[in-house]
Amino acid sequence: MALNDKLILASGSPRRVELLAQAGIEPARLMPMDIDETPKRAEHPRSLARRLSTGKAQAALAAIKGDPAFSGSYILAADTVVSVGRRILPKTEMLEEASSALHLLSGRSHRVFTGVCLITPDRTVRQKVVDTKVRFKRLSSFDIEAYLASGQWRGKAGGYGIQGIAGSFVVKLVGSYTNVVGLPLYETLALLSGEGFDVHAGWPEA
């Protein structure tokens, strides 16, 4: 892979790393960015996803400033927001948060927005927000208790990870599955390819 095709992923999410690997892309560096993710007053979930992904990409750009090893790199950041209507659900760290989120999602539809931000080697900023609609089955008390006991809710937007046990809660999904996991692959690769990144360089040859 050429030097100008180095990719910095401004995230520490194993799910995003795995999704990129699925597409044959291995980031040259992982740079989780710790920024304030508190929604602004009356902020729309879509706007929050866009703002946070852009903020993380720009924070990563500032962090590599002056480092010649990464001067020609692409910087990719993403942030996933789960909402019911305009109500934004947190990335759950506490059991009570996860329980509240699952009770809210039970038997109803919600939306998953992932903001993707790409900063190119010439420092052009490209953005995309992908929206997926997900409907959960009606969860029993035992469903919720058993899922909470699994620990798979920890750190997840909306209190669940679709790639795990919670995938069995999904009655209907309209849109991108990988978006719900945390990185919409089609849209992400389209952004990269459109800005000259060789998305095929890491593909295996028969």
* 8 Å CB contact between 118 and 195: yes
Q: Which residue, among 102, 78, 106, 87, has the nearest Cα to 158 in the 3D structure?
A: 102
Gap between the Cα atoms of 91 and 101, Å rounded: 10
Give the residue numbers marked as catalytic: 79
